[in-house]
Amino acid sequence: MHVFEDIETFSTRKLKECGTYRYASDPSTDVHFVCFAIDDGPVQVWRPGDPVPPPFIDPRAYTFVWDNWTFERRIHEFILTPRYGFAPIPLANQDCAERHALANAYPAKLETRCIALDLPFRKDPEAHKAMLRLARPYK
């Protein structure tokens, strides 16, 4: 079974300035929510304070697919596991859709990839702007 996961975060650090490792390991970085779907099932949402969902309690029976493996796995490792009790995901159970796309000469960015594959999925520009605003806490 596959778990398709997307994690939305916030931090006082700027990801583009400090890189994934420093961003994920910074004490100010935290998680707004985790969206995930198991195989073709409905999208589920986990928020801090919710119980840990079953795939994240015993991840060995699943393959976790992220679109940006480098970022998502660090957030899982540095935030979800120690702060919220998610089990560590074995490396053998991790996969990256972005890397598969690049290996097959498709664009790295998800939205551009959807256009190249003639898929109907598009990011909502206003929702994307709102998410970026939420990624930086107010002073």
Per-residue pLDDT at 126: 75
Q: Are 110 and 122 in contact, with CB atoms under 8 Å apart?
A: no
Question: 51-60: string of b/e by CB count within 10 Å (b at 16+)?
Answer: eeeebbeebe
Print pLDDT tens along the chain (139 aa).
999 999 999 999 988 899 999 999 999 999 999 999 999 999 999 999 999 999 999 999 999 999 888 899 999 999 999 999 999 999 999 998 888 888 888 887 777 777 887 888 767 777 767 766 666 665 5
Per-residue pLDDT at 26: 96
